[in-house]
Amino acid sequence: MKPAREVLLVDDNPADLELTAEFLSRSRCSSRIHSVNDGDQAIEFLQGKGKFSAARRPDLIVLDLNLPRKPGRGVLAEIKCDPCLREIPVIIFSTSQAPNDVYASYQLGANSYVRKPGNLADFVATVTTMGDFWFCCADPPHTPCLRQPHFPSELNKENS
């Protein structure tokens, strides 16, 4: 039996967060769901800062693009530029059907781009399928990385 997967959901829509968390937690394989509702909180969680100092490194990130404070693209770019975070699979889960959003997400290193369905039955089926694949079929990398400055701006501060 696989250990429970740590999942970080990043979405500013409370209904989408609640539904996604509920149906991911019903996956055939176990998971622990954590959620934040803006891009800055996502980065703080991943860096273990402030109220997230005890946060565990997620095995999977489900990221909306349209977020307050820091857009999803910015969060994705920071994740994929960070040597301690870049291997974490990131699913973009967005209502956007814009080809530019899909293309830019993959260019920034997204592992998949999934459109949020407009009706409840399709939403449930999509989230259940994502959970079953990422929790039961895919093996995430488990590269240990000590918590240290993650981003170039923090490294520059230390060298000053």
106-138 pLDDT per residue, tens = 999 999 999 999 999 999 999 999 988 888 788
pLDDT of residue 151: 42
| Sheet-wide strand order for 90-94 | 31-36, 5-10, 60-63, 90-94, 112-115
CA angle 7, 115, 125 (to 5 degrees): 70
Report the C-alpha gap between 130 and 26 in whole angstroms.
Answer: 11
Contact (CB, 8 A) for 61 and 6: no
Structure pTM? 0.86
DSSP bridge pairs for 92:
63, 113
Q: Name the residue range of residue 92's domain.
A: 5-159
Predicted local distance difference test score (pLDDT) of residue 157 = 43
How confident is the model over 74-108, as pLDDT tens digits?
Answer: 999 999 999 989 999 999 999 999 999 999 999 99
Beta bridge partners of 112: 91
- For residue 9, list its beta bridge partners: 35, 62
The CATH number assigned to the domain holding 85 equals 3.40.50.2300
Domain count, the chain: 1
Cα end-to-end span (Å), the chain: 48
pLDDT of residue 149: 43
Closest CA to 67 of 13, 20, 112: 13
Supply the pLDDT for residue 5.
83
Span 29-59, pLDDT tens digits: 778 899 999 999 999 999 999 999 898 889 9
Poorest-pLDDT segment among 17-21, 25-29, 115-119: 25-29
Average model confidence (pLDDT) across the chain: 86
- Would the CA dihedral through 28, 29, 34, 39 be positive or negative? negative
